[in-house]
Structures are given as structure tokens and as C-alpha cells.
Amino acid sequence: MKALKYIAIFGFTFILLFPLYWMFRGSVDEIAGVMRVPPTLLPMNWTLDNYRVLLSKNLGGGGYGYNPATDDIQDIAENTQVYEKSAILRWTLNTGGIFTLKAALAVFLVATAGYAFGVYRFKGKNTLFLVFIIGIVIGPGITIVPYFVTCERLGLRGNWLGVILPFAYTPVGVYIFRNYVETISFEIVDAARIDGAGEFRILRQVILPLCRPAVGVLVVLVALGTLQDYIWSLLMLPTTEKQTLMVGVIQEILRVQALSGGLNPIGMSLAGGVILFIPLFLVFIFCQRYFIKGLALGGVKE
Amino acid sequence: MKGVKGQRLMLVLLLFPSAVFIILFTGLPFIFMLEKSLVATDYISTQFVGLKHYFDTFTDPDYLDVFVSSMIYAVTVCSVTTIVPLLFALLAYDCPKWVQSYAKFIFFVPSFTSGVIMTLIYRWIFQPRIGLITYLTGLVGIPPVMWMANRWTAIGGIAGMTISGIMGVPLLIYMSSILSINPELFDVARMDGATQFQIKTKIVLPLLGPSVLLVILITMMSGFFIMETILLMTGGGYDTQTFIFNIFDQGINQSKIGLASARSVIMFFVILTMVLVKRRLEKRGKE
């Protein structure tokens, strides 16, 4: 009975992790190995060409070193601009920049609102709080079209503000932060006030350090949101130079697919998948505690 | 009571930045949604058409397909992601700590791997000629079909991908509510001679009622909200659209802002109803 239990738990590992292994296996194999029927469990001919193709993608111009029609990789060493205008590098930096600005803004908004709702008592507080977290229900999923119209009208389309501003305010974050602030003893706040500290100083020097776990949860949620988002970033950032890593890589794969008459460039897709997977994996590994806690705080008590 | 003099100003200052964002990015879209659902826009002129978009939606035979597909997605996704993590939570909660952490980790790996990355893998796995699925079904004698160009296989495949991607949260919800059960209850039951199996089915399971309700709500919504996977697997063709993908498709790909807004309003009320029903059931459970 006990053995059966462990077999079930560990057997499930296989089902859930197999696709990821299969992605890795295909990404380091030559096209013949990928197309082989019956498929082999291990790569047939190890190669890093798939990665090289993606990493050699340049911004602007074709300058690409890869001919999708013949599936040849031309000598990319000739291409001297490779590392100067590397698209992947640019997209990574874009993503990093967007994340940094978004996270800073998110922490500022959530901390101020969460502090106000956690510490102050005032008339109509519960109603106002409902207004502040109504966004959990009216999410961007339902309202994607009006969201799009709004952002276009505000002139946010085509620049980074379009991906930073709309989701900088996170209702779930306010909810988590408020709950966290409420667990802090208000005597600390009173003591700081008696010492003559201003409210913003109390927030920055007393509350924020105490709420570090809640801030961590928020930052991790923002990081995952930025790294995982595809459709919204695609709508807001139509130009290649400004795109995020996710959008850039996927659009590149779709572009090559269109060039080769609709054939799925499998090796390149899989290499792209691995490249997109790495940052998410790092965030997950290093912030697993916050990630799981955030989902628990945001989901369980909603 | 908190609040000395001058605090009202402080309060306004603290809430003001967030309020601006809420007005701009929750309020404005919401008002636009209501407004646009009543007009026909072609970027040059705008015309008031009343409830026409709503009537069109309910009389459109294509929307019936969307409805049927959405329901299939929601029911499959919801049933599997409610039951499988529940079984695993019941299996794992009395295991050693590291097994529990391990189970959580495994269930979360597909969740943090974005659905978009999953589509990159599954576009290969579902390839009609060389894909793994074709090979595996070939072994049991099922002839290959264009998996993603056939309504039912495409819906099945997309539902399966979605299921594997969202099982982490339900497991976590179940695990944490099992942890919050008073351990004395288990001791008492054990002293009365209850077997481990009886404890699990007679004590733990009934106490998980509210969690199950929450998971049903979340996973049904996940079913309605599938979007990126559909976009990259079928592009919305072959009648595989969900409600939300349909809104995106109508509004942004086909620029029918009015129709899409009307459908958004309908979805808003559907979601609101689901949340309220859940609340009601929860209250009834407590009494």
C-alpha cells in the first residue's frame, strides 16, 4: 500500500516532466534526429546549431545566417555584426528593464495603498477596499479589448509604458500587503510617530523592512508576469527592437515558419523554448518560497 | 482608533497614486467596455445601435460553437484539475516532509513554465507525421490524423496542455487546508481504531469542501480563459475557441470592437455569477 503511494507520486513526475525533457532532447539534436520515426529517447547527433541559429539573429535586416528553405546554417562567423546587434541580448535587456520599472512601480503602489488600508481606520474603508481589489475579478482576461482601446487612446501603444503601466497596480498585491501589515503590531507605528517620524518615513524604514516577505511575493509575481506574458506584450510592442524576450523569440519562430511555407521549424522552436525556460526556471528555483506563498496568499483567501 | 490630526491628508496622499492607476486601467476600460458594447464603430463614424450586439451574440450560430467548445474545455479542465490534485494531496499529506515538497515542486514545474513554451513543445509532439502522439497512437493501431486540424482532437490536446499547466495551485490549496486541520482530530480517530483510509475519506475529505469549491471556481475560469495556447496551436480555427479567445479574436483580429465589448460584458456577468454562487454555497456549507 505504502509502496503504491510512492509509485503514484514518483510516477507522476514522469508525466509532468516528460514534455520538458522532450524539449531539451529535441533542441540539441540535428533535424534528422528530430524528424526520425520511430523517435529515439536520446538525441541522435548532438549539436548546438539550433541555439546558434537563434542567438545569431540580428536586429534589423535579414543578417541571419540561416536559410530556412534549405535548412542550412551558413557560416555565421563571417557575420561580424553578430554580437553587436544580437537580438536575443536586446530582448533580454528589454525584459530586464521592463521588469525593473514595473516592479519598482508595483512595490510603490502596493506599499502605499496597503499601508493605508492596513494601518488607518476611516469611514467607508471596507467599501473603498473593495474598489481597490475589484481588479481581481475584472481582470485583463475579460477586458482585453477595452484595455487595448484604452491604452491605444492614452498613447501607450508602441512603447514600454504600454506594458509597464497597465499592470503595475496589482490588486492581489494590495490584498496580500494589507493582510501582512495588519499582522504587525501598531505600537511600532505609534512609537515611530512619537519619535517624530513622518508617515512616508515610517512606511519606508519601519513597515517595508517588516513586510519583506510580502514585497518578495509581489516582486516574484511581477517577474513571472513579465516573463510569461505573450499576447499583451505582442499587442503593445509591435516593433522588433522593443519586444520582450518571450515575444521576440516566438515572433521570430513564427516568421521563419511563414518564410518556409508554414513548416514548423522544430529545432529552432525547441531551442527557443529552452532559452525562454531558463529565466523562468531561475526565478522559480531561487524564489520558490515566495512563489508558492504568493499563490497561497492570493488564491486561498480570495 | 488610529489617526491624529492631519492624517486625512496623509491618507489621501497614500491612496492617490493607486487610485490614479485604478481609474485609468480598471475604471476606464470598464466604462469603454459598456459604452462600446452599445455602438458600432468603424474607426470613422460611430453609431448608437442599442442592444444589437447582444442580440447578435445570442442569435449567432458561430457563437454556439464557441459556447460548446468553452463548455467542453471548462468541464474537462475543471474535473481533472479538481480531482487529480485532491487524490495526490490525500496521498501525500501523511508522507515525510520531503515527499510533500517534492510533490509540490513537480506539480508546479509546468505552472511556471509558461503555456507559450508548452505550445512550442506540443507543436512538435502533435505533428501529424513525426510527432510523438502519432507514434504512440500508431502503436495501438489508431491511424494518424491532423491532430490540430480536427475540432475534437484539437480541443482534447489543448485541454490536456492546460490541465498539466494549472495543477500546482489546486494541490497547494488542498495541502494547506489539510495542514490547517486540528491534528487532535486525527489522534482521536486513531484511538477509536479508525484506519488510515477511513481517516482520509471520513474526516479529511469532508473538511476539504470549501477548498474544493474554490478550486472548481478557479479551474472553470481557467477553462474559459484559455487564450495563448489556442492562438499558437490552432489560431482559433476548427471551432476550438473559448469565450475569451473569441473576444480577443473578434475585437482585435477582426476589429469588431462593439461586438467584442458586448461579449466581454456578458462574460463579466458570467464570472460575477460564478463568484456569487460560490459565496452562496460556501455560506450554506457553514450553516
Q: Decide if B231 touches A, using CB distance below 8 A.
A: yes
Question: Residue B101 burial (CB < 10 Å; 0-12/13-18/19+)?
Answer: middle
> Are residues A277 and B120 in contact, defined by beta-carbon separation less than 8 angstroms?
no
Q: Decide if B227 touches A, using CB distance below 8 A.
A: yes
Q: What is the pLDDT of residue A100?
A: 93
> B227 vs A174: CB contact, 8 Å cut-off?
no
> Are residues A118 and A188 in contact, defined by beta-carbon separation less than 8 angstroms?
no
Question: Residue B267 burial (CB < 10 Å; 0-12/13-18/19+)?
Answer: buried
Residues 6+ apart with CB under 8 A from A294: A176, A217, A218, A220, A221
Contacts of B3 in chain A (CB under 8 A): 120-122
Q: What is the pLDDT of residue A35?
A: 79
Local structure of B236: helix, strand or coil:
coil
Q: Evaluate whether ipTM surpasses 0.95.
A: no
What's the mean pLDDT in B17-46? 83
Local structure of B248: helix, strand or coil:
helix
- Would you say residue B79 has pLDDT above 90? yes
> A143 vs B30: CB contact, 8 Å cut-off?
yes
pLDDT, tens digit, 9 for 90 and up, residues B183-213: 787 778 878 877 777 777 777 787 888 888 8
> B120 vs A281: CB contact, 8 Å cut-off?
no
Q: Which residue has the higher pLDDT, B45 or B72?
A: B72
What's the mean pLDDT in B233-258? 85
Q: What is the pLDDT of residue B83?
A: 92
> B214 vs A300: CB contact, 8 Å cut-off?
yes
* C-alpha–C-alpha distance, residues B126 and B113, integer Å: 19
> Are residues A170 and A221 in contact, defined by beta-carbon separation less than 8 angstroms?
yes
> A300 vs B177: CB contact, 8 Å cut-off?
yes
- Would you say residue B285 has pLDDT above 80? no
Bridge-based pairing state of the strands B46-48 and B39-41: antiparallel
* C-alpha–C-alpha distance, residues A3 and B284, integer Å: 40
Of A9, A12, A145, which is closest to B251 when you measure between CB atoms? Answer: A145
Gap from B266 CA to chain A (nearest CA, Å): 9
Contacts of A272 in chain B (CB under 8 A): 120
Q: What is the pLDDT of residue B81?
A: 92
Of A35, A150, A277, which is closest to B28 when you measure between CB atoms? Answer: A150
> A137 vs B275: CB contact, 8 Å cut-off?
yes
> A147 vs B25: CB contact, 8 Å cut-off?
yes
- Residue B236: how many CB atoms within 10 A of its CB? 18
Mutation target vs B (from A149, A199, A250, A263; most B CBs, 10 A cutoff): A149
DSSP states of chain A: -HHHHHHHHHHHHHHHHHHHHHHHHHHTB-HHHHH-SS--SS-SSB--HHHHHHHTPBSSS----EETTTTEE--GGG-TTTTTSBHHHHHHHHHHHHHHHHHHHHHHHHHHHHHHHHH---TTHHHHHHHHHGGGTS-TTTTHHHHHHHHHHTT-TTSTHHHHSTTTS-HHHHHHHHHHHHHS-HHHHHHHHHTT--HHHHIIIIIHHHTHHHHHHHHHHHHHHHHH--HHHHHH--SGGG--HHHHHHHHHHHHHHHTTT---HHHHHHHHHHHHHHHHHHHHHTHHHHHHHHIIIIIT-
Contacts of A284 in chain B (CB under 8 A): 108-109, 112
Mean pLDDT of chain B: 84
* C-alpha–C-alpha distance, residues B103 and B168, integer Å: 9
Give B1's pLDDT tier (boundaries 50, 70, 90): very low
Give B77's pLDDT tier (boundaries 50, 70, 90): very high
Q: What is the pLDDT along chain A (302 residues), one digit of tens a residue?
A: 678 878 888 888 888 888 899 888 888 888 777 777 788 888 888 888 888 888 877 765 444 444 444 444 444 444 444 445 678 888 888 899 999 999 999 999 998 888 888 877 777 788 888 888 887 777 667 778 888 888 888 888 888 888 888 888 888 888 888 888 877 777 777 787 777 777 778 888 888 888 888 888 888 888 888 998 898 888 888 887 888 899 988 888 888 888 877 777 888 889 999 999 999 998 888 887 776 666 665 544 43
B272 forms bridges with which residues in the sheet?
Answer: none
Q: What is the pLDDT of residue A79?
A: 45
Of A15, A141, A273, which is closest to B120 when you measure between CB atoms? Answer: A273
Which residues between 126 and 165 in chain A have a beta carbon less than 8 angstroms from any beta carbon of chain B? 128, 131-132, 134-135, 137-138, 141-150, 154, 165
- Residue A242: how many CB atoms within 10 A of its CB? 20
> Are residues A121 and B1 in contact, defined by beta-carbon separation less than 8 angstroms?
yes
Q: What is the pLDDT of residue A60?
A: 56
Mutation target vs A (from B35, B117, B119; most A CBs, 10 A cutoff): B117
Q: Decide if B109 touches A, using CB distance below 8 A.
A: yes
Contacts of B121 in chain A (CB under 8 A): 19-20, 22-23, 270, 273
What's the mean pLDDT in B218-238? 86
In chain B, pLDDT over 90 holds for what percent of residues?
7
- Residue B8: how many CB atoms within 10 A of its CB? 11
Of B36, B91, B103, which is closest to A146 when you measure between CB atoms? Answer: B36
Gap from B247 CA to chain A (nearest CA, Å): 7
Q: What is the pLDDT of residue A150?
A: 85
What's the mean pLDDT in B271-283? 86
Give B234's pLDDT tier (boundaries 50, 70, 90): confident
Which residues between 71 and 130 in chain A have a beta carbon less than 8 angstroms from any beta carbon of chain B? 108-110, 112-113, 115-116, 119-122, 128
* C-alpha–C-alpha distance, residues A243 and A241, integer Å: 6
Which residues between 41 and 70 in chain B have a beta carbon less than 8 angstroms from any beta carbon of chain A? none
Q: What is the pLDDT of residue A294?
A: 62
Q: Name the helix (H) or strand (E) containing B46.
A: strand B46-48
Q: What are phi and psi of B38, to 5 degrees?
A: -105, 0
Mutation target vs B (from A25, A36, A142, A245; most B CBs, 10 A cutoff): A142
Classify residue A18 as left (phi > 0), alpha (psi -120 to 50) or beta: alpha
Q: Three cell numbers at B172?
A: 497547494
Q: What is the pLDDT of residue A139?
A: 66
* C-alpha–C-alpha distance, residues B15 and A45, integer Å: 60
> B117 vs A12: CB contact, 8 Å cut-off?
no
Contacts of A199 in chain B (CB under 8 A): 10, 13-14
